[in-house]
């Protein structure tokens, strides 16, 4: 099949960022086409935990604090708006988060973030001593020095979020095309089309939202897109007992989701694009979970998933106009928090396509910016490491 088609805007990648971009563009009346080579949210966007933690993570508070808070505010509205518009329930809910410190180092790192976290309106963030933490979640292993209790963080089903964005966009004229993007077509420096495995799509604007595969666009744009895949795995466990709040310790977390399973994560593995779950990771995650939550000894593993976070060397997304090319916007590198950032990334990408500018400060996120090398672990010291 070799088709020729037209669209105002072509979005490369049908993950949550591509679908959010399509949603906000379609609300502006722009006709767009998403090109996806697999299925909608068939990678990280469909298998992430779906935790929304506005007060922690790489780049927070500077420079991402304002965008993080705005994205969280958008999520709180989208939960209802998307259900009304599309009938898809994204299962958005507010949750209490308990970040437990077992070492002095962890406690000091958590406390150092408190002043900024407590200054943010609409949240309650408290340091609690070990006994108080145990009173909140008595199933935690003894030995905690203390921890931070945050009211509230968010939790949703990331696959349903992507689907709802897509359906909201489709109801306004967006279309979805299956195919592999192979390159961009330029007239001078202005983009004029997208070359796919199914033929050419003529267009005036392109949004690159290819997640962990965004580096492939470097050659098309003549500009380095230093996005690497950082694999993460999650276990879904069946266990008796009341639901678990969001609990995190060390590099791990556990939380009950509406499927009545306890989701336990995660790993951070630099293994290229190898996306399959592994027994070795299962063993490590179970060992960590049993140290913090011994009651999980009775749990049954129902499912294990793995997917790839799109991470950048400096831990920040890449969001802005591609340098030296007219009509190309890049929206990628959401890293450990791409679900959380998807509304604001989609909204900003749509602004840039539609009006060429955005009211949000994205100066630190520019495509082509210099980035420190080999720091894909940026943000590791933070308790919200999805
Ligand atoms: C274990 C784990 C847990 C996580 N938990 C959370 C969490 O709780 N909260 C949070 O905010 N974030 C979380 N994340 C991170 C989040 O999942 C990602 O940041 C986010 O899904 C990235 O979305 P994306 O749309 O940029 O990329 P993706 O979801 O990877 O989508 C990119 C799409 O582009 C397509 N594509 C690529 N190249 C081409 C091509 N040439 N042609 C056509 N299509 C192409 C791919 O097939 C893919 O579908 C987690 C990640 C992991 C691994």
For the segment 291-344, what is each residue's pLDDT rounded down to a tens digit?
Answer: 999 999 999 999 999 999 999 999 999 999 999 999 999 999 999 999 999 999
- Please indicate, yes or no, whether the overall pTM of this predicted structure exceeds 0.85: yes
- CATH entry, 103-152+229-311, from 3.40.50.1820, 3.90.1300.10, 3.30.9.10, 3.40.50.1980: 3.30.9.10
Pick the residue whose CA is nearest to atom 22 on ligand 1: 338
Report the distance separating Cα 303 and Cα 369, nearest Å.
Answer: 40
Whether omega before 8 lies within 30 degrees of 0, making that bond cis, reads no
How far apart are the CA of 301 and the centre of ligand 1, in A?
Answer: 24
How far apart are the CA of 337 and the centre of ligand 1, in A?
Answer: 10
Ligand 1 pocket residue status of 333, Cβ below 6 Å: no
Pick the residue whose CA is nearest to atom 10 on ligand 1: 337
Instruction: Give which of 30, 10, 13, 19 is closest to 355, Cα–Cα.
Output: 30
* Domain residue spans of the chain: 3-79+158-225+313-365, 103-152+229-311
Ligand 1 pocket residue status of 336, Cβ below 6 Å: yes
Ligand 1 pocket residue status of 14, Cβ below 6 Å: yes
CATH homologous superfamily for the domain 3-79+158-225+313-365: FAD/NAD(P)-binding domain (3.50.50.60)
Q: Is the pLDDT of residue 1 over 50?
A: no
Ligand 1 pocket residue status of 266, Cβ below 6 Å: yes
Site to probe by mutation for ligand 1, drawn from 48, 97, 311 as the one with most ligand atoms within 8 Å of Cβ, is: 48
Ligand 1 pocket residue status of 277, Cβ below 6 Å: no
For the segment 137-181, what is each residue's pLDDT rounded down to a tens digit?
Answer: 999 999 999 999 999 999 999 999 999 999 999 999 999 999 999
pLDDT of the residue at 384: 54
Mean of the pLDDT values across residues 228-256?
97
pLDDT band at 380 (very low <50, low <70, confident <90, very high): very low
């Amino acid at each position: 099949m070799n088709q020729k088609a037209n669209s105002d805007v072509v979005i490369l990648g049908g993950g949550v960022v591509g679908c959010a971009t399509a949603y906000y563009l379609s609300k502006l009346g722009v006709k767009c086409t998403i090109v996806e080579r697999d299925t909608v949210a068939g990678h990280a966007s469909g298998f992430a935990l779906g935790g929304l933690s506005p007060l922690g993570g790489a780049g927070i508070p500077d420079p991402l604090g304002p965008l993080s808070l705005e994205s969280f505010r958008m999520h709180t509205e989208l939960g209802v708006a998307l259900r009304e518009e599309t009938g898809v329930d994204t299962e958005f809910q507010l949750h209490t988060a308990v970040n437990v410190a077992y070492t002095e180092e962890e406690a000091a790192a958590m406390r150092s973030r408190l002043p900024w976290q407590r200054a943010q309106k609409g949240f309650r963030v408290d340091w609690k001593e070990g006994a108080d933490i145990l009173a909140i979640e008595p199933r935690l292993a003894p030995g905690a020095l203390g921890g931070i209790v945050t009211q509230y963080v968010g939790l949703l089903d990331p696959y349903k979020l992507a689907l709802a964005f897509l359906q909201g966009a489709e109801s306004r004229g967006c279309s979805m095309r299956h195919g592999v993007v192979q390159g961009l077509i330029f007239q001078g420096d202005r983009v004029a089309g997208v070359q796919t495995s199914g033929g050419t799509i003529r267009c005036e604007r392109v949004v690159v939202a290819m997640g962990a595969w965004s580096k492939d666009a470097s050659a098309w744009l003549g500009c380095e897109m230093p996005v690497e895949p950082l694999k993460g795995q999650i276990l879904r466990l069946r266990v008796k007992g009341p639901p678990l709040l969001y609990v995190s310790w060390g590099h791990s977390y556990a939380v009950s989701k509406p499927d009545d399973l306890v989701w336990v994560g995660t790993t951070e593995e630099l293994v290229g694009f190898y996306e399959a779950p592994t027994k070795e990771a299962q063993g490590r995650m179970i060992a960590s979970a049993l140290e913090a939550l011994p009651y999980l000894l009775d749990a049954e593993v129902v499912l294990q998933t793995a997917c790839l976070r799109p991470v950048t060397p400096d831990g920040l997304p890449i969001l802005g106009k591609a340098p030296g090319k007219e009509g190309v916007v890049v929206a990628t590198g959401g890293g450990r928090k791409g679900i959380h950032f998807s509304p604001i990334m989609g909204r900003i990408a749509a602004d840039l396509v539609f009006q060429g500018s955005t009211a949000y400060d994205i100066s630190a996120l520019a495509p082509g910016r210099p980035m420190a090398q080999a720091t894909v672990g940026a943000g590791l010291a933070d308790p919200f490491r999805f």
